[in-house]
Amino acid sequence: MTDAPELRRSRRTADVVGILEPNPYPLVAIAVAVVSVVVLTIIGFFLGTVDLGLSKAFNELHVGALGAFTTAVYHVISPVPAIALTFVVAGVIWWRARDIRPALGFGMTIAITWLPSAAVKEIVHRARPDVALLPHPFPVQPDPGYPSGHTVYITAFVIALVWVVRETRWHRLAQVLGVVAIVVVFLSVSIDAVHYPTDAAASVLWALAVTPAARVVWVDWVMPKVPILRPREGAAVPVRR
């Protein structure tokens, strides 16, 4: 008979095993990601200033408390804080599960989704909204704007976290709060006018398409080949549904 501590450990592992469940259609996930990245990259070359008017309209809202809030959001998920946040959450997942696999699945899924978007930024090289034309300009950002790394990051973060808590009572809450977080970041980068709204929209689509493939590559293909990342004896085993 399983004693209480062992039962609690088993439950902790089961709580976070969702992200380890294998994708039944891995090649479909990869194909969708590849096609989406190609299409979104091509679209980026043709956007130009098509939504400059919308950027100005959003930027009109950058006043008072709302302006301070959107600027704070932009800074809070800039690359260094975002990386720190990912490490902290991954650490909590590791502690909760007593298993590094879901923590690495979470962190690496985000990284593999997020980092390539920086390369596409340089390839497309779409300029950010011209600060000289904005009513409340944000300090000039040195890098191109398409896609929005902030928006790719938060969308990938939410998707990965929802997978982590898939089999728990926190799943619905994570979905709701995750959607709110994505909308907040989308509006923040648009109101700050550090990105065109189409930059942010393309970034959400990027993460929705690429995150499942990133999880397949890391969790389903790479991790099983690393001896220390194979399932431990007695650990919760993900099942194909």
> Under the phi-then-psi rule, with left for phi > 0, alpha for psi from -120 to 50, and beta for the rest, what region is 193?
left
Residue 10 has phi, psi (to 5 degrees) of -60, -40
In one letter, which amino acid is 85?
A: L
- Count the Cβ atoms, other than its own, within 10 Å of residue 221: 13
User: How does pLDDT run along the chain (241 residues), one tens digit per residue?
Assistant: 444 444 444 444 444 468 999 999 999 999 999 999 999 999 999 999 999 999 999 999 999 999 999 999 999 999 999 999 999 999 999 998 889 999 999 999 999 999 999 999 999 999 999 999 999 999 988 899 999 999 999 999 999 999 999 988 999 999 999 999 999 999 999 999 999 999 999 999 999 999 999 999 999 999 999 988 877 654 444 444 4
Token pair listed for 146: 């398409």
pTM of the model: 0.89
Which domains, from first to last, does the chain contain?
A: 8-228 (1.20.144)
Please state, in angstroms and rounded to a whole number, the distance separating the CA atoms of residues 94 and 125. Answer: 38
Query: Residue 80's pLDDT is what?
Result: 95
Q: What integer pLDDT is reported at residue 103 of this predicted model?
A: 96
| Rounded Cα gap, residues 220 and 222, in angstroms | 6
What's the token pair of residue 4?
């209480």
Cα 201 to Cα 152: distance, rounded to the nearest angstrom? 10
Find the Cα–Cα–Cα–Cα dihedral 229, 231, 236, 238, rounded to 10°: 90
Ramachandran class of 98: left when φ > 0, alpha when ψ lies in -120 to 50, beta otherwise: left
